[in-house]
């Protein structure tokens, strides 16, 4: 579901207050050239992630779902020089593109791209004592959203912010769709968040260059 006016407004916002630079433009171009799906966050959404990380005072960020590293760059730019961002990518080819994009942006010293299934990498992070993370951005396979939020909680502290992308599913999230694992996984995630006393959360719908979608935003309270 798209609307030309949504794109026009997004372009105005981006050009006015969230302009791209060479590293971000090249990250998108190289991702497209490598055949990655064009599902990265929109520029103004990337800026939103960056602002949330800065307002959080984040020093340690976890991203689940790297793709070509576009959102990774936005988030990593919010970190101090001694900060750290760990991003998890299932596809080795995608991870290679992301590493090149991150290095070109000058962020390879504070960003680590780990390859493999996130549900394998997350227990490893716990075993290494990598947390607690100050902010977790989840933008991976939607069927595993409840598992990713569970792990985000394990690797969090009181005050950690958890963001989950693509939760509206073109408006279909409001009713069960047993034939769509992405919707089922996302609805299961909402059920988990609703009954989890350690999470204070909301969700909202968005429109723009990425069509009709939305985000879940949660804060760990205990």
Q: First-to-last CA distance in the chain? A: 38
Dihedral-angle region of residue 213 (phi above 0 means left; psi in -120 to 50 means alpha; beta otherwise)? beta
Assigned token pair, 62: 């976890």
CA 199, 83, 14: angle at the middle one, nearest 5?
75
Question: Which residues are 163's β-sheet partners?
Answer: 137, 217
Distance CA 88, CA 63 (A): 6
Whether the Cβ atoms of residue 164 and residue 138 lie closer than 8 Å to each other: yes
- Listed in sequence order, the residues at least 6 apart from 8 whose beta carbon sits closer than 8 Å to its beta carbon are none
Show the tokens assigned to 72.
Answer: 């990774």
pLDDT of res. 142? 98
State CA 25 to chain mean position distance.
18
**Residue 195 neighbours by CB distance under 10 Å:** 8
Per run of 10 residues, the mean pLDDT along the chain (length 222 residues) is 89 94 97 96 97 98 98 98 98 98 98 98 97 97 98 98 97 96 98 98 96 97 96
Q: Which of 92, 146, 98 is nearest to 119 (CA)?
A: 146
Cα–Cα distances (Å) from 109 to 23, 79, 133, 201, in that order, read 16, 12, 18, 33
The single-letter DSSP state of residue 138 is E
pLDDT for residue 1: 65
Kindly provide the residue ranges of all beta strands, DSSP E only, lying in the chain, ordered along the sequence.
60-64, 84-89, 111-115, 135-138, 161-165, 199-208, 211-220
- The CA-based diameter of the chain, rounded to the nearest angstrom, is 48
Q: How many CA atoms lie within 13 A of 13 on its CB side?
A: 16
Given a contact cutoff of 8 angstroms between Cβ atoms, the answer to whether 211 and 165 are in contact is: no
pTM of the model: 0.97
Alpha carbons 13 and 178: distance in angstroms, whole number: 37
According to the model, what pLDDT value does residue 2 have? 72
Q: Which residues pair with 215 in a beta bridge?
A: 165, 204
Supply the pLDDT for residue 102.
98
């Amino acid at each position: 579901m798209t609307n030309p006016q949504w794109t026009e407004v997004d372009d105005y916002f981006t050009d006015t207050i969230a302009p791209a630079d060479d590293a971000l433009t090249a990250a998108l171009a190289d991702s497209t050239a490598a055949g990655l799906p064009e599902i990265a966050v929109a520029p103004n959404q990337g800026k939103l992630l960056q602002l949330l990380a800065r307002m959080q005072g984040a020093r340690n960020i976890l991203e689940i779902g790297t793709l070509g590293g576009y959102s990774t760059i936005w988030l990593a730019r919010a970190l101090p020089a001694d900060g750290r961002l760990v991003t998890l990518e299932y596809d080795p080819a995608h991870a290679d593109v992301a590493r090149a994009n991150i290095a070109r942006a000058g962020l390879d010293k504070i960003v680590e791209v780990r390859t493999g299934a996130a549900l394998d990498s997350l227990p490893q992070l716990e075993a290494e004592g990598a947390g607690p993370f100050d902010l977790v951005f989840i933008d991976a396979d939607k069927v595993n959203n409840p598992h990713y939020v569970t792990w985000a909680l394990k690797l969090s502290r009181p005050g950690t912010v958890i963001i989950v992308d693509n939760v509206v599913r073109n408006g279909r999230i409001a009713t069960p769709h047993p034939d769509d694992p992405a919707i089922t996984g996302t609805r299961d995630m909402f059920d988990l968040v609703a009954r989890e006393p350690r999470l204070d959360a909301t969700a909202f719908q968005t429109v723009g260059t990425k069509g009709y979608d939305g985000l879940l935003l949660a804060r760990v309270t205990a």
